[in-house]
Structure 1
Amino acid sequence: MTSLDSYEKGKNYQEANNSYVIFFCCFDPLGLGLQQYTIHRHVDESPEHIADDGTTTIFLNIPSLRKDVNQPLQKFLDVIANRKVDGDDRFIVQLKKRIAFVKHNKKWRAEYMRLSLYEMDRRHGLKVARQEGIEEGKEEAILQVTSLFIKQQLPKERIIANLKEAYDLTDEEAEQYYKRCLK
């Protein structure tokens, strides 16, 4: 879904539905040490002016231990990161039950494993992921993340550093992805 999907033909711009894009990252996407980055568009010619178009992009740094987010979200991130979570919360109990069900359901197991890249990377490393045919998806993901960082006007050095850290790339590989996205 794009922010354009929020606009109905003939409707006023201010009447558009808000849209949110949320990235769950297993690295610090902007390298500032925060647990959550909330990004709104701004006017390039006047960066202090936020373009109030209803679009919000949120990056969540899953490995972060800062606990800067609200308690329910923190518990959810702790479950994703496979950290110990208090079992009294109804949502967390249901979430853990659902995860256990999906993990043990043969029909859903393949889908769960496909979607659980964070867990696969953590448990098996990128070598196993590559062996399981993830390489094409990895390249597409790198290109999408790089394009997003460029659109957010991050400095080139920060983008290269994030790509190297997140995807275990050399300087040359990260530079090539960066150049491909500039075209």
Structure 2
Amino acid sequence: MIDMDSLMKGQDYSELKDSYILFICKRDPFKDEREKHYGLSCYTFKNTCSENPAVNLNDKSLKVIYNASAYNEEKDEKVKAFLHFIHTNEPGKDDFTNRLSALVEQIKDNEKFRRDYAAMNLHDRDITRAAKQEGANEKAVENAITLVQKYNVSPESAAKDMNAPLDKVLESLSKSRL
């Protein structure tokens, strides 16, 4: 979408403008295969070829993801102060985070913003609850499949015993048999 917005009809791909996508996260969004966070304060991504990382898409797009929980790891003092503010909600000694803190307090006093913020939090909680339920369903399906494969229990019984959706158990079983 960003590329489409930056190119006019008929313009060449080489005329793309630089684009920056920034995410500021309170917690580390990346984990390794053992579920351990990498702990970087900043993750920077460019589009490269999976088969040969030396091949760059050259779309002039840069994605930067800041992890506020690792603010102590940040070398740039201004970025470090900002990430500290995001993580702790405590302004630092610098002018920027003090002004930002004052703006946040001013916005909190705005009645419309408070209503919208409360609605957004409800929406976020609904999403979190749905994700947890999905995770519980996935675990129940895994357990049901174990019952079927290890103990020769029927898929119907296993799904019922593990409180797993039967259709998901059957689907996973059929995939594992391929």
Does 1:44 find its partner at 2:50? yes
Structure 1 or 2: more strand by fraction? 1
Of the three residues 105, 111, 114, the one matched with 1:106 is 111
Which secondary structure state, in structure 2, belongs to the residue aligned with residue 20 of structure 1?
A: strand
Q: Deviations over 1:104-155 (max 9, x none)?
A: 121222234556xxxxxxxxxxxxx5xx343554589x7xxxxxxxxxxxxx
Give the whole-Å Cα distance in 2 for the aligned partners of 1:69 and 1:9: 42
Q: TM-score, normalised by structure 1?
A: 0.59
**1:40 shift after superposition:** 0.4
Q: Quick check: 30-39 or 77-86, which moved more?
A: 77-86
- Identical aligned pairs, as a percentage? 26
Of the three residues 59, 70, 78, the one matched with 2:84 is 78
Give the aligned CA root-mean-square deviation in angstroms: 3.4
**1:34 shift after superposition:** 0.8
Higher relative contact order, chain-length normalized (CA < 8 Å, sep 6+): 1
**1:101 shift after superposition:** 0.3
**1:36 shift after superposition:** 0.7
User: What aligned pairs does 1:110-129 form with structure 2 within 5 A after superposition?
Assistant: 110-113=115-118
User: What aligned pairs does 1:52-63 form with structure 2 within 5 A after superposition?
Assistant: 52-63=58-69
Give the whole-Å Cα distance in 2 for the aligned partners of 1:69 and 1:171: 42
When residues 45 and 24 of structure 1 are mapped into structure 2, their CA distance, relative to the original with a 3 A threshold, is: same
Which amino acid is the alignment partner of residue 109 of structure 1?
Answer: R
When residues 59 and 171 of structure 1 are mapped into structure 2, their CA distance, relative to the original with a 3 A threshold, is: farther
Give the whole-Å Cα distance in 1 for the aligned partners of 2:17 and 2:108: 35
* Count of residues paired in the alignment: 136
Which secondary structure state, in structure 2, belongs to the residue aligned with residue 48 of structure 1?
A: coil
2:124 matched residue in structure 1: 134
Give the whole-Å Cα distance in 2 for the aligned partners of 1:65 and 1:90: 18
Q: Unpaired segments of 5 or more residues in structure 1?
A: 116-128, 143-163
2:95 matched residue in structure 1: 90
Does 1:172 find its partner at 2:162? no
Q: Is the 8 A contact 2:25 2:67 kept in 1?
A: yes
Q: Unpaired segments of 5 or more residues in structure 2?
A: 32-37, 143-167, 173-178
**1:45 shift after superposition:** 3.1
Which secondary structure state, in structure 2, belongs to the residue aligned with residue 107 of structure 1?
A: helix
Which amino acid is the alignment partner of residue 10 of structure 2?
Answer: G
**1:103 shift after superposition:** 0.9
Q: TM-score, normalised by structure 2?
A: 0.60
2:29 matched residue in structure 1: 29
Give the whole-Å Cα distance in 2 for the aligned partners of 1:17 and 1:63: 32
**1:102 shift after superposition:** 0.6
Give the whole-Å Cα distance in 2 for the aligned partners of 1:59 and 1:133: 23
Give the whole-Å Cα distance in 1 for the aligned partners of 2:78 and 2:118: 25
**1:92 shift after superposition:** 1.9
Give the whole-Å Cα distance in 2 for the aligned partners of 1:38 and 1:111: 32
2:20 matched residue in structure 1: 20
Which secondary structure state, in structure 2, belongs to the residue aligned with residue 50 of structure 1?
A: coil
